[in-house]
Amino acid sequence: MRIAVVGGGPGGLYFSILMRKIRPDCEITVYERRKPTDAFGFGVVFSDETLTVFEHADPETYSQIAERFTRWTDIDIHHRGFMTKSGGHGFSALGRRELLRILQERALGLGAEVRFGCEAPPLAELGWADLVVGADGASSAVRTALSRDFVPSLDRRQCRYMWLGTDLVFDAFKFFIAETEHGVVQAHAYPYDEAMSTFIVEMHERTWKRLGLGEQSVSESVAWCSRLFADALEGHRLLANKSRWINFVTVRNRRWCTDNVVLLGDAAHTAHFSIGSGTKLAMEDAVSLAWAFRSFGDDAVSAMAAYEAERRPIVESTQRAAQASLEWFEGIGRYVDQERFQFAFNLLTRSRRVTYENLQLRDPGFVSAVHPDPRPPMFTPLRLRGLELRNRVVVSPMDMYSAVDGLPGDFHLVHLGARALGGAGLVMTEMICVSDVGRITPGCAGMYRPSHVDAWRRIVSFAHQHGGCAIGAQIGHSGRKGSTRLMWEGMDEPLPDGQNWSLLAPSALAYSPRNQVPRAMTRADMDVVCGQFVSAASGALEAGFDLLEIHMAHGYLLSSFLSPVSNLRDDEYGGSLAGRARFPLEVLDACRAVWPSDRPLSVRISATDWIPGGFGVDDAVALARMLSAHGCDIVDVSSGQVSPLERPAFGRSYQTPFADRIRSEAGIPTIAVGAISSYDDVNTIICAGRADLCALARPHLYDPAWTLHAAAEQEFDIDAWVRQYEAGSRKPPAGRDRVRAELERTFDQVALISSSQLPG
Ligand SMILES: Cc1cc2nc3c(=O)[nH]c(=O)nc-3n(C[C@H](O)[C@H](O)[C@H](O)COP(=O)(O)OP(=O)(O)OC[C@H]3O[C@@H](n4cnc5c(N)ncnc54)[C@H](O)[C@@H]3O)c2cc1C
Ligand SMILES: Cc1cc2nc3c(=O)[nH]c(=O)nc-3n(C[C@H](O)[C@H](O)[C@H](O)COP(=O)(O)O)c2cc1C
């Protein structure tokens, strides 16, 4: 087998080493445009799990690498004159040049031909090779030449950064947070040998421009960084090595292989340096690809497919964590005012991979400094106006499609009753429709007849009397998404002919080609609908609900006013955000007027439509400010379901960053929701100050007593078990850890969550 490897970076070299070991008969030619001693960059960080992989893959390189490792366990966060230390992490690093030297020598020793200082020939001239490996880095020419097959996407991010080094040897991974008159500048620093540390300086592009760093030479910039971080550097020098200000580019490719060409390392994918090193990912790719050839022999097509199938989910999960991390640093200005321990906790948990629970294992002292309360964060109460919630868990609204002519029945009593006994602080009803034509399906519950008020009162009384929890009513109108089938008969599918009712919306635009075209609402229609909201709010009050939520999310009537995708009006109820928000705010004002001043009111919004040109997170922050000014106490931050063309980026806690941003920028409490699966996630979100409450929907279908069980697993005495169940209150059911791990894994996998499975 003849193999051409384009690029002699860590990925290309390590692959060559492993292939020569597995298949000593294969011929390998590596093209590397740089000279062997020409490496750029400073240190490379590895985690413990990665090292095990490398130890097994090639013990010879591993032992040389491990010999040169600098190891440390602490992360220090320097912020506003304080140093906050968190221990127990475990890192290893070495110099990038040293790593490349080890890999180069080993590859040559095993008989790979490495052509240094040699530009790779174009692909057309590599026809002799049975396999071409594109290991040519983030700007890969191999990828560009075959971009029709690989379908790359290059996402240029908002920060500028520069790789630098210093001859000060740090004893920990260090974050230095400097505040300038033009914004925050942060340094990520770690030791990598007995003489040097990496020192990456990063800031938002906006800050970089205002500071005029773009107009300075590299040496002037380095001098500026040395002055800014003078205290951190303790008189030592900052050093450049082919350094320049760059924007991180997240590279993704729809495919990593085509014919006999395969991408590996940075050419296939990049992950922001703040969660570890691209070097580690590239070398793990190399192991996977080489191992695939060990299994499939000369069948390159199967080997490449197996490599991609194995690596893609791992890489995508890493890229999701990296995305959360890089976005955190892009928005760091929002967090610098946090109290020092909360800021440090927030920073450490930014990628969602480090959590409250694992920090507690790594460094319990740090966690008790962050959260001195003996109760886990999720079990601290929250006051909203006159209502005190006993904990931070909310049973998220879930339509049961089981009402008859809007009337909630025994199913609702048992369903909501079971969840009211389950320990959550707040149980929300499904969307209660404000009129019969405001229902989504014929099975949706309502509050538009006196009998509805009585039926809801029965449920509320049960929740209060037996559950001891608060219960909230979510009221809404389906708008252009109405007159559809029950969830299990086809979500968003119109009813059979003859059973449909006519729809109302801001504009005469159907939700999808198969849905009915609604009628654009007149002012008179708005008066009628607003009156129906008020009447439903009054009904909720009569029924005894503790909290009222107005549904302005998921493409239903009020949401469709807010989104420019569904609101094309040219009167004062369309156009700018202020115009599009006018009717929803009128409804909010009217409901607030009848809803008592000592009871809280929340609004659920879709923080983004997930489509270009749609409602976006900036709009959501602006809207949240308006909602707050109109008497909303807490924003329940969901997303999407406004257009079937949406492309959401699903993943674990994927909507929480929106709740976080709204909370910190609009200064209003928020509810985070969406793929929050574990109590650890809830504790982390609350403790980091990303949201005030966490709503969980599907986990409560799986386990009505989710909160009681979370308390038992944390050995917290929750005081919410009803007397009747006390005998079973102490012991977590067997196998719960496994089930929890399964749920977490499920929520971590993009493909398993699709908005079509999320009604309401
Ligand atoms: C400026 C900069 C500094 C960095 N510093 C560090 C650091 O200190 N620590 C760290 O962990 N990571 C660092 N990184 C990230 C790191 O380089 C990558 O994530 C990692 O090396 C990926 O390995 P790779 O083998 O996929 O690609 P690369 O390391 O990028 O290797 C690709 C190789 O291909 C060669 N090449 C490209 N095109 C051709 C061609 N047409 N012909 C011949 N040769 C070609 C390049 O010269 C390069 O050596 C840095 C990245 C940049 C951009
Ligand atoms: C069966 C079901 C019904 C739903 N009905 C509603 C609803 O009536 N109102 C609403 O705002 N959201 C509704 N949703 C969305 C959930 O409240 C929640 O936002 C979503 O499921 C994401 O949370 P999860 O990942 O914890 O399930 C529903 C979700 C499910 C699974």
Nearest to residue 581, comparing CAs of 623, 634, 621?
Answer: 623
Ligand 1 pocket mutation, candidates 29, 32, 190, 192, criterion most atoms within 8 A of CB: 32
State whether the beta carbon of 43 lies less than 6 angstroms from ligand 1.
Answer: yes
What's the rounded Cα separation, in Å, for the pair 416 and 715? Answer: 26
Confidence band, pLDDT 50/70/90 cuts, at residue 742: low
What's the rounded Cα separation, in Å, for the pair 692 and 397? Answer: 17
Indicate the DSSP class of residue 172: S
State whether the beta carbon of 137 lies less than 6 angstroms from ligand 1.
Answer: yes
66 CA distance to ligand 1 centroid (A)? 21
pLDDT of residue 756: 44
- Closest listed ligand to the CA of 45: 1
Identify the H or E element spanning 46.
Answer: strand 43-46
What's the rounded Cα separation, in Å, for the pair 505 and 738? Answer: 46
Whether residue 755 is predicted with pLDDT greater than 50 in this model: the reply is no
431 CA distance to ligand 2 centroid (A)? 10
Neighbours of 443 (CB within 10 A): 19
Confidence band, pLDDT 50/70/90 cuts, at residue 386: very high
For the chain, percent of residues with pLDDT exceeding 90: 89
pLDDT digits (tens, 9 = 90+) for 302-319: 999 999 999 999 999 899
Q: List the beta bridge partners of residue 71.
A: 92
C-alpha 159: how far from its chain's center?
19
pLDDT of residue 679: 96
Is the dihedral angle over the CA atoms 449, 455, 461, 464 positive or is it negative? negative
User: Under a CB-based contact definition with an 8 Å cutoff, are residues 506 and 574 in contact?
Assistant: yes
398 CA distance to ligand 2 centroid (A)? 5
747 CA distance to ligand 2 centroid (A)? 14
**Nearest-CA residue for atom 23 of ligand 2:** 674
What's the rounded Cα separation, in Å, for the pair 176 and 125? Answer: 49
Give residues with Cβ within 8 angstroms of 698, minimum separation 6.
none
| Catalytic residue, candidates 556, 573, 654, 679 | 556
The average confidence (pLDDT) of the chain is: 94
Which of 160-169, 260-269, 547-556, 716-725 has the least mean pLDDT? 716-725
pLDDT digits (tens, 9 = 90+) for 26-48: 999 999 999 988 767 789 988 76
User: Under a CB-based contact definition with an 8 Å cutoff, are residues 286 and 19 in contact?
Assistant: no
State whether the beta carbon of 165 lies less than 6 angstroms from ligand 1.
Answer: no
Report which ligand 1 atom has the smallest distance to the Cα of 163. Answer: 3
Report which ligand 2 atom has the smallest distance to the Cα of 696. Answer: 26
Confidence band, pLDDT 50/70/90 cuts, at residue 753: very low
pLDDT digits (tens, 9 = 90+) for 3-30: 999 999 999 999 999 999 999 999 999 9
Whether residue 741 is predicted with pLDDT greater than 80 in this model: the reply is no
For the chain, percent of residues with pLDDT exceeding 70: 96
What's the rounded Cα separation, in Å, for the pair 687 and 375? Answer: 12
Whether residue 84 is predicted with pLDDT greater than 80 in this model: the reply is yes
pLDDT of residue 733: 57
State whether the beta carbon of 277 lies less than 6 angstroms from ligand 1.
Answer: yes
Q: Is residue 356 flagged as an active site residue?
A: no
pLDDT digits (tens, 9 = 90+) for 554-597: 999 999 999 999 999 999 999 999 999 999 999 999 999 999 99
Beta strands in 589-633 (DSSP E): 601-606
pLDDT of residue 736: 58
137 CA distance to ligand 1 centroid (A)? 5
Backbone angles phi, psi at 72, to 5 degrees: -155, 170
Ligand 2 pocket mutation, candidates 487, 556, 602, 758, criterion most atoms within 8 A of CB: 758
- Closest listed ligand to the CA of 120: 1
Ligand 2 pocket mutation, candidates 394, 395, 398, criterion most atoms within 8 A of CB: 398
Indicate the DSSP class of residue 25: T
